[in-house]
Amino acid sequence: MWLYEAAALLVAAGMSLGFALLWLRNGMRRRRHVLDELLALRKVLEQDLLEGLSASGALILRLGLRGMRWQGQWYGAPVQGAVGDGAQSLAGALSHDFAQADVQLNLRVSLRGLRGEARLFAEQSAQMLFAIFEGALAARELALVSSMAQRARVAVFVQHDMRNLAQWVALVADDMDQAQTPAEIVRSVQRLREGASLARDRAQRISAALLRPDSGAGQAERWQPLDVLDDLAQAAAMHQVVLQIEPGPAGGLTLDWSASAWAAVLDNLLGNASRLSRERVGSARCKVRIAHTGQMLEISFETPDLPLEVPLPRLFEPWVGASPGGSGLGLYQARRVVLAAGGDLRAQPCGTGLSVTLSIPL
C-alpha cells in the first residue's frame, strides 16, 4: 500500500516540478522578450531622446518598474516628464544623473512595492535602462561632434575657395585699372571673359557649401571625365598665368577624377604661382610637362625663376607657408585630395624655384 502512496507522491512531486519549470520557462521567455524590447529602445532614443522617453511608458511597466520621471536642462531649456507612476512621489527610487555639454538630466525610476525576485529583475532592468540612455546620449554627442568637425573641414576648403575667388577679382580689378588705351581695355575685357566661367563655377561651389555644409559628408564625389588641357587653360586664364605646355599632346587628354578636387589642385598651384610671381618677378609664367607612366598621368608645374618661400621639405606642411591673408593650408589640402584619389603630389628643385608633379591614376 505504501508503495502506491509513494508512487502517487512522486508523480505529484514530478508534476509540481514540471509545472514549476514550465512557469519559470514562460517567465524567462517573457522577460527575455521584454529585455529585447529594452535593447531596441536605444535606436529610438538615438533618434529622439525626449520623445523616446515619453513613448517608453508601456515598456517601463512590462519591465516591472512602477514609473519613471526625468527633469533637468536640455540645450538651455528646462524639461521634465513622467510615465507610469512617475508623477507620484518617488521616494527611495533609483536615480541617475546624466551630463553632457548642453544636457543635464536626472532620471528616476520607481520600484515601489516590489519584493524578492521581481525587485531584483526590476533593479537590473533599471540599470540597463540607465546604461542605454547614457549610450544614446553619448552617440548623440558623438554625432554632433562629427557634424561640427565636418562643417569645420568644409569651412577650411570654402575659405580657400573664397580667397582664390577674391584673388581673381583683385587681378581683374588691377588689370582693368591699368588699362589705358582702347587696345589694352579690349585685352583686359578678354581676360575677364576667359576667367569668368571658372570664377562662376567657384562661386557656385562656395554657395552650395555654405547653404549645405553637411552635403556629401563622408561620401566620395562622383568622378567624371575631365578635359585636362581645357581645364588647364581656364585655370591659367583665371589666375592670369602664362602656360607653356611641353610637349604639346596631340588631340584631347581626358582624366577621370573629381571636378572639385582637380579644381582645388589647379587653384592652389597656379594661384600660388600667380601671387608669388606678381610679388617678386612681375608676370606669372609656368611650364607644364605632361607624361604617361603606365596607368598614371603625370603633370609637372615648373616655375624655375620663382624662389621658394619655404624650405622644400616643408612645402606641404600645414601653416608653414602662410602668406598675409592666407590660411597656409592650400598645398596641404591639395596633396590630401590627390592622395585620397590614389595619386601623389611631390616637389623637387628646379632652377632657383621648384617643380611640383601631380601623379594621378588614369
Q: Enumerate the domain spans of the chain.
A: 25-144, 220-362
Q: Of 131, 141, 135, which is closest to residue 109 (Cα–Cα)?
A: 131
Q: Give the separation between CA 295 and CA 343, rounded to whole angstroms.
A: 11
pLDDT in tens, 86-135: 555 555 678 889 888 788 989 888 876 667 777 777 787 788 888 888 88
Give yes or no for residue 163 having a pLDDT over 90.
no
Give yes or no for residue 218 having a pLDDT over 70.
no
The mean predicted confidence, pLDDT, of the chain is 76
User: Quick one: pLDDT at residue 356?
Assistant: 93
- Confidence bin at 299 (pLDDT 50/70/90): very high
Q: Give the separation between CA 338 and CA 359, rounded to whole angstroms.
A: 8
User: Quick one: pLDDT at residue 155?
Assistant: 67
Contacts of 2 (CB under 8 A, 6+ apart): none
Q: Of 109, 20, 246, which is closest to residue 12 (Cα–Cα)?
A: 20
Tell me which of 21-25, 236-240, 243-247, 303-307 is least confident: 21-25
Tell me which of 67-76, 243-252, 266-275 is least confident: 243-252
Give yes or no for residue 60 having a pLDDT over 70.
yes
- Confidence bin at 65 (pLDDT 50/70/90): confident
Higher-scoring residue by pLDDT: 349, 186: 349
* 255 touches 223 (CB < 8 A): no
**Helix, coil or strand: residue 12:** helix
Q: How far is CA 296 from CA 23, 90, 344, 361, in A?
A: 71, 71, 10, 4
CA atoms within 13 A on the CB side of 216: 14
Give yes or no for residue 213 having a pLDDT over 60.
no
Q: Give the separation between CA 360 and CA 266, rounded to whole angstroms.
A: 13
φ/ψ (deg, to 5) at 315: -60, -40
Helical H runs in 220-323? 228-239, 259-280
User: Quick one: pLDDT at residue 219?
Assistant: 44
Contacts of 102 (CB under 8 A, 6+ apart): 73, 74, 75, 76
Written as nine digits, the cell of 180 is 589705358
Q: Of 257, 247, 255, 256, which is closest to residue 290 (Cα–Cα)?
A: 247
Higher-scoring residue by pLDDT: 146, 29: 146
Give yes or no for residue 358 having a pLDDT over 90.
yes
User: Quick one: pLDDT at residue 346?
Assistant: 92
Contacts of 316 (CB under 8 A, 6+ apart): 331, 332, 335, 345, 347
Higher-scoring residue by pLDDT: 114, 21: 114
**Mean pLDDT of all residues in 230-257:** 80
Contacts of 109 (CB under 8 A, 6+ apart): 60, 65, 66, 67, 68, 90, 93, 94, 126, 129
| 220-362 is classed CATH 3.40.190.10 | no
Give yes or no for residue 235 having a pLDDT over 80.
yes
Q: Is 103 exposed, middle or buried (0-12, 13-18, 19+ CB in 10 A)?
A: middle
User: Quick one: pLDDT at residue 12?
Assistant: 63
User: Quick one: pLDDT at residue 53?
Assistant: 81
**Mean pLDDT of all residues in 229-258:** 81
Give yes or no for residue 215 having a pLDDT over 60.
no
Beta pairing partners, 361: 296
Beta pairing partners, 255: 226
Give yes or no for residue 359 having a pLDDT over 90.
yes
Give yes or no for residue 290 having a pLDDT over 80.
yes
Written as nine digits, the cell of 267 is 587653384
User: Quick one: pLDDT at residue 285?
Assistant: 87
**Helix, coil or strand: residue 282:** coil
**Mean pLDDT of all residues in 337-343:** 90
Higher-scoring residue by pLDDT: 45, 331: 331
Give yes or no for residue 164 having a pLDDT over 60.
yes
Tell me which of 21-30, 102-111, 269-278 is least confident: 21-30
Give yes or no for residue 78 having a pLDDT over 50.
yes
Give yes or no for residue 217 having a pLDDT over 50.
no
Element housing 72 (H / E):
strand 67-74
